[in-house]
Structure 1
Amino acid sequence: MANTYYEAINWNEIEDVIDKSTWEKLTEQFWLDTRIPLSNDLDDWRSLSEQEKQLVGYVFGGLTLLDTIQSENGMERLREDARTPHEEAVLNNIQFMESVHAKSYSSIFTTLNTKAEIDDIFEWTNTNEYLQKKAERINEIYKNGSPLQKKVASVFLETFLFYSGFYTPLYYLGNNKLANVAEIIKLIIRDESVHGTYIGYKFQLGFNELSEEEQEEMKNWMYNLLFELYENEERYTEQLYDDIGWTEEVKTFLRYNANKALMNMGQDPLFPDGANDVNPIVMNGISTGTSNHDFFSQVGNGYLLGTVEAMNDDDYLIGLDN
């Protein structure tokens, strides 16, 4: 009998049921930006000040950079430490959707901005010291960190660092503006909540195998990294939001989501900020259901995707066994 050279993945023999339930949830949620009529937001866009338009462009530029890291480097590095072949498949799905996320921001730019404005956005993104610092720090961990450190970096990126950018479209959604742009952001948030929870779960499996001393060492490293990232994120937030007056509200939102990232990994929250401390307009933006328009009708009923679910506070700790 010939020796096995390569083993086929067998979805009928599941080592970890969370792999299967996550795969099913992610495929059920599949979406594409091309199905959302962003041009319907042009009237709202024209009503914004030049300062607000620049803010929207810059936050989406920053989000594009972070999603690019996840799609090009992050998931590839996490795959190296997969515990099961099914986990590798889930990470493949996540990697593809991170590419969809990054591409979605360009669809927004194409709809709302001129070519000169788009060039300015990407020039700003690719040279901003705070954006580049967090990109370099996260990517350095992806390249040189331990399997658990890489998972921490990924969860911090998806459940914490994205939210300085998400605040802006959620604020406008809460004020009944840019509803279609916000649909994309809500779909991305829905994906990221699963990504962060799944990778946080995989972190917990490895963390629980450590000795007590090793666990304490890992926790110290994790909280020190969070402080480092938060300090940089404060500067980034000040640069983006000082002129428009939202800085302190965004920092509260960041601290709230930093706690969510820690909780995804089974750790104690660090900051005192809870949902009630976040601007209720933004929380309303998260919790608002899908807009009334049927944005898949352009391709007929044959194109069936998961419904855009209402984002409640509990969705950050989404139950993967549902």
Structure 2
Amino acid sequence: MSETENLTVPTYYSAIDWNSIEDSIDKYTWEKLTSQFWLDTRVPVSNDLDDWRKLPQLERDTFAKAFAGLTLLDTLQSVDGAEVLKHDARTPQEIACFNNIQFMESVHAKSYSTIFSTLNTKKEIEELFNWVDTNVYMQTKAEIINKIYESGTALQKKVASVFLETCLFYSGFYTPLLYLGNNKMINSAEIIKLIIRDESVHGTYIGYKFQLGFNELSEDEQSEFRDWMYELLYKLYENEENYSHLLYDKVGWTDEVLTFLRYNANKALMNLGQDPLFPDTAADVNPVVMNGISTSSSNHDFFSQVGNSYLLGEVEAMSDEDYDI
């Protein structure tokens, strides 16, 4: 061996070693995320055209605007949300998981365009994107979350992400799930179920990482942070109430949407290891919507292979033992 082959220098950039795992949840989450890989082009959305043509115009308008709102939120997550979380990662494997999450958020955002291009005219699509890009409640929601991404602490960013993915998305998810529960628009709703399956992993994983940092705070710091967290949720929920009234009052679904939203707000808090805020439970949610979520679900726990399991108890705060490999 020559002398040059023995030369060493201080490490400038470290290789990621998946055989040396500091946090086993990173490896388990990576395996879960990759096992769930999907693309919108594999779902035959065109099979929904017959159902679409039979829907009243008001319901078609509501359906399309709900999906436009979801497009904005997933765009925010794919461009900024997952990106900023990588900057505060504890392990290199965590960064890899967020790379996967960021890519799938882009898949989610694109999948709505696949639905639009199948169901809507070019003019309608342009009007939808103009509507969501200028809607006061959608823009308020995006601004609140993104300002935290831009200037919040590591823990605040994780809270914003979990609130967005585990709570705020669901005012938009309600519509396709309602139709699915009534055996309509099945393929469009299947895309939503695939997205929900992804978001369930994202919310639980990010919530777990949040809890690691939160548990390192003193009791006083935890109390102060908890006040901030609940104040943020109140602020987001108030805006979401206004958005839901705008979107759903004409079709008469607003009260049921808000119940669904509050139930998912509790799920978000439990992902973060916090107590639920609202009295709403799964029993209060429209059973047709819950049936839509559970249809064809093949899993019974968070880390099962490819299912869509959703119920509150299955995504509540977890300990290391719950992730036992």
Calculate the TM-score normalised by the size of structure 1: 0.93
Q: 2:271 is matched by which residue type in structure 1?
A: N
Q: Does residue 3 in structure 1 map to residue 20 in structure 2?
A: no
Match of 2:301 in 1: none
Pairing of 1:298-309 with structure 2 (within 5 A): 309=307
Q: Does residue 12 in structure 1 map to residue 19 in structure 2?
A: yes
Pairing of 1:98-247 with structure 2 (within 5 A): 98-247=105-254
Q: Which has the larger Rg?
A: 2
Where structure 1 has 5 or more consecutive residues not aligned to the other structure, the ranges are 292-305
Q: Quick check: 1:288–1:311 contact (8 Å CA) kept in 2? A: no
Q: 2:232 is matched by which residue type in structure 1?
A: L
CA drift at 1:3:
1.2
Selected match of 1:283 from 286, 290, 299: 290
Matches of 1:32 and 1:321 in 2, distance apart? 30
More relative contact order in 1 or in 2 (CA 8 Å, sep 6+)?
1
Aligned CA RMSD, in angstroms, stands at 1.5
Matches of 2:10 and 2:315 in 1, distance apart? 45
Deviations 1:60-88 (A, max 9, x none): 00000000000000111111100000000
Deviations 1:38-75 (A, max 9, x none): 00010000010111111111010000000000000011
CA drift at 1:308:
5.2
Q: 2:15 is matched by which residue type in structure 1?
A: A
CA change 1:129–1:95 in 2 (3 A) is: same
What SS is found at the alignment partner of 2:12? coil
Q: Quick check: 1:193–1:315 contact (8 Å CA) kept in 2? A: no
Matches of 1:316 and 1:193 in 2, distance apart? 7
What SS is found at the alignment partner of 2:18? coil
Q: Quick check: 2:270–2:315 contact (8 Å CA) kept in 1? A: no
Q: 2:227 is matched by which residue type in structure 1?
A: N
CA drift at 1:290:
6.2
Deviations 1:118-148 (A, max 9, x none): 0111010000000000100000000000000
Q: Quick check: 1:194–1:320 contact (8 Å CA) kept in 2? A: no
Q: Does residue 76 in structure 1 map to residue 120 in structure 2?
A: no
Matches of 1:10 and 1:273 in 2, distance apart? 44
CA drift at 1:316:
3.7
Q: Quick check: 2:197–2:308 contact (8 Å CA) kept in 1? A: no
Q: Quick check: 1:170–1:285 contact (8 Å CA) kept in 2? A: yes
Q: Quick check: 1:163–1:253 contact (8 Å CA) kept in 2? A: yes
Matches of 1:315 and 1:36 in 2, distance apart? 27
Matches of 1:290 and 1:211 in 2, distance apart? 41
State, as a whole percentage, how many aligned pairs show the same letter: 69
CA drift at 1:320:
5.0
Match of 2:266 in 1: 259
CA drift at 1:2:
1.4
Match of 2:4 in 1: none
Calculate the TM-score normalised by the size of structure 2: 0.92
Match of 1:303 in 2: none
Matches of 1:307 and 1:264 in 2, distance apart? 20
Q: 2:180 is matched by which residue type in structure 1?
A: L
Matches of 1:268 and 1:315 in 2, distance apart? 15
What SS is found at the alignment partner of 1:176? coil
Deviations 1:298-320 (A, max 9, x none): xxxxxxxx975243414544965
Match of 1:302 in 2: none
Q: Quick check: 1:197–1:264 contact (8 Å CA) kept in 2? A: yes
Selected match of 1:54 from 61, 72, 85: 61
What SS is found at the alignment partner of 1:242? helix
CA drift at 1:245:
0.2
Match of 1:311 in 2: 309
Q: 2:238 is matched by which residue type in structure 1?
A: E
